[in-house]
């Protein structure tokens, strides 16, 4: 920190703001309080519940401002949320905390990383076409990412990354950073996809596509739907076509139908025939039947083969979510005529819908931590990377579990709904600020060449203010659990 006239210069990030007394820096995370640089947000500590009469209860009566009470070290985890950063990276991490767990001395190194190399992977559960693969995803007209692959009832988006944050215009970087921050902190973001849909994304909530909230994802592709429900159809209908953008299924040709003795019906499907009963490219992608552009499913049918079809043949056409369905009977010319859906088939359509899981947006933060923040852990940074790969060091993000990618560096992903609220911040370089913790035994930390002179016990936090204790998020493994 540098004092210049009535301002202080913050060194918490590369922007190096000059901050007047009583004001905050550009990131709203640091302020000048009577000539002293202070962290505005509370530092979050997680409380582990314990068993009491067979019931899990928190150690404190409520989450919130800490009253200074100290509990068992093994039941308190110091997260990096609100801890501050190691920038300009030559100095040790803000907190290097010692605790005793089941008789083992543990060390947790805590820091908020400044991530220019970061983004989010968004999984949108929907059967509707959002846009062509590689299509730009835009917010306020600026590209913040692109569409990637479709994954069995979900569309994947890749948003952010260093090229959008710092490789384009200032506006592109600012809007990308704002969108990533909102998504990571559980707030909605509205985006448009070139050649596709407008979508509102929010972690843990159903997507809103072209103004309509999505309700369910598909039960499976058309072929899978036949495999699941063929036995429920054979006593009530002669033919079933399950319309799907990727694999449309036909009961009489499908192996499930063959095994159940379903008679050939003479049906002819437009599209590319794959294995029996499975058709690709029956229509274009869209927001209609089964994620296609169809409003009338009969348009995918060629005339029935009259050598095999018969008048009165009963046919159900249904989508992979059960949202669309229609029932037909062939007339004397073997042409389908729509009829009311019989109750038994209506129940089967309801069963398809019942088996569809709720549509959600899943947001995974993804960041590369293989850079200089490692110097806040050890004077020999590569040893930290090796220790993580050897599973001697556990990585968490705000106390939440992460997936560390194989290969070089420390590239990790975390489900943002598993972190405490507002766990992410930003700096106007632009870059995201994300919490990251490294936990290992004291012996392993010493072997890393760790900053042993900076180690402090959890009990030392009793003398500090501005802390917030929160219960660990349900379903998360305890970060200090010994394996």
What are 264-281's pLDDT values in tens digits? Answer: 999 999 999 999 999 999
pLDDT at 131 over 80: yes
Q: Give the per-residue pLDDT at 464.
A: 54
Tokens of 84: 């501050």
Q: What pLDDT sits at residue 49?
A: 65
pLDDT band at 1 (very low <50, low <70, confident <90, very high): low
What 8-state DSSP symbol labels residue 150? E
**121: closest CA among 167, 169, 152, 154?**
154
CA-CA-CA-CA torsion for 90, 95, 100, 105, nearest 10 degrees?
0
**Do residues 258 and 288 make contact, with C-beta atoms less than 8 angstroms apart?**
no
pLDDT at position 60 is: 35
In this prediction, residues 294-317 reach a mean pLDDT of: 97
The residue-averaged pLDDT of 299-325 equals 97
Identify the CA nearest to 46 among candidates 482, 483, 481.
Answer: 481
Measuring CA to CA, which residue among 59, 87, 62 is closest to residue 71? 59
Closest CA to 204 of 421, 402, 41, 352: 421
Report the C-alpha gap between 13 and 427 in whole angstroms. 7
- The strand pair at 36-39 and 30-33 is best described as antiparallel
The pTM of the full predicted model, rounded to 2 decimals, is: 0.88
pLDDT tens column, 82-97: 888 887 777 899 999 9
pLDDT at residue number 51: 43
Share of the chain above pLDDT 70, in %: 92
pLDDT higher than threshold 80 for residue 419: yes
Q: How confident is the model at residue 69 (pLDDT cuts 50, 70, 90)?
A: low
pLDDT of the residue at 178: 98
Measured at the alpha carbon of residue 445, what is the angle toward residues 413 and 113, in degrees to the nearest 5? 35
**Closest alpha carbon to 187 in 24, 26, 361:** 361
Give the rounded distance of the alpha carbon of 375 from its chain centre.
Answer: 29
């Amino acid at each position: 920190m540098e004092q210049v006239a009535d301002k202080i210069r913050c060194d918490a990030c590369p922007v190096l703001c000059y901050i007047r007394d009583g004001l905050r820096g550009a990131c709203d995370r640091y302020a000048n309080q009577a000539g002293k640089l202070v962290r505005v947000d509370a530092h979050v500590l997680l409380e582990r519940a314990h068993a009491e009469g067979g019931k899990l209860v928190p150690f404190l009566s409520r989450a919130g401002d800490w009253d200074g009470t100290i509990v068992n070290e093994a039941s308190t985890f110091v997260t990096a949320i609100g801890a501050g950063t190691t920038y300009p990276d030559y100095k040790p991490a803000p907190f290097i905390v010692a605790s005793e767990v089941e008789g083992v001395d543990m060390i947790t190194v805590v820091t908020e990383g400044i991530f220019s190399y970061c983004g989010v992977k968004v999984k949108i559960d929907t059967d509707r076409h959002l846009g062509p693969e590689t299509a730009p995803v835009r917010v306020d007209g600026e590209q913040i990412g692109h569409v990637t692959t479709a994954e069995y009832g979900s569309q994947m988006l890749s948003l952010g990354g260093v090229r959008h944050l710092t490789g384009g215009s200032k506006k592109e970087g600012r809007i990308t950073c704002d969108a990533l921050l909102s998504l990571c902190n559980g707030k909605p973001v509205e985006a448009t996809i070139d050649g596709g849909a407008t979508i509102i994304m929010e972690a843990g909530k159903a997507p809103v596509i072209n103004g309509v909230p999505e309700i369910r994802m598909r039960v499976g592709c058309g072929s899978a739907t036949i495999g699941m429900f063929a036995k429920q159809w054979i006593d009530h209908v002669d033919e079933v076509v399950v319309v799907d953008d990727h694999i449309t299924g036909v009961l009489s040709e499908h192996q499930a139908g063959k095994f159940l003795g379903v008679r050939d019906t003479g049906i002819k499907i437009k599209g590319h025939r794959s294995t029996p009963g499975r058709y690709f490219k029956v229509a274009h992608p869209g927001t209609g039947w089964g994620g296609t552009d169809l409003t009338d499913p009969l348009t995918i049918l060629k005339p029935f083969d009259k050598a095999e079809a018969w008048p009165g043949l009963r046919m159900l056409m249904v989508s992979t979510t059960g949202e669309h369905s229609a029932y037909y009977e062939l007339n004397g010319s073997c042409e389908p005529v729509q009829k009311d859906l019989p109750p038994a088939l209506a129940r089967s359509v309801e069963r398809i819908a019942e088996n569809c899981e709720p549509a959600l947006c899943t947001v995974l933060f993804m960041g590369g931590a293989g850079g200089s923040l490692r110097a806040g852990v050890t004077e020999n940074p590569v040893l930290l990377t090796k220790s993580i790969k050897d599973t001697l060091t556990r990585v968490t993000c705000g106390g939440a579990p992460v997936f560390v990618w194989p290969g070089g560096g420390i590239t990790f992903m975390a489900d943002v709904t598993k972190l405490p609220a507002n766990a992410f911040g930003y700096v106007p370089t632009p870059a995201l600020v994300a919490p990251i913790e490294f936990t290992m035994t004291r012996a392993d930390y010493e072997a890393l060449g760790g900053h042993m002179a900076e180690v402090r016990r959890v009990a030392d936090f009793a003398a500090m203010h501005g802390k917030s204790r929160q219960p660990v998020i349900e379903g998360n493994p305890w970060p200090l659990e010994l394996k």
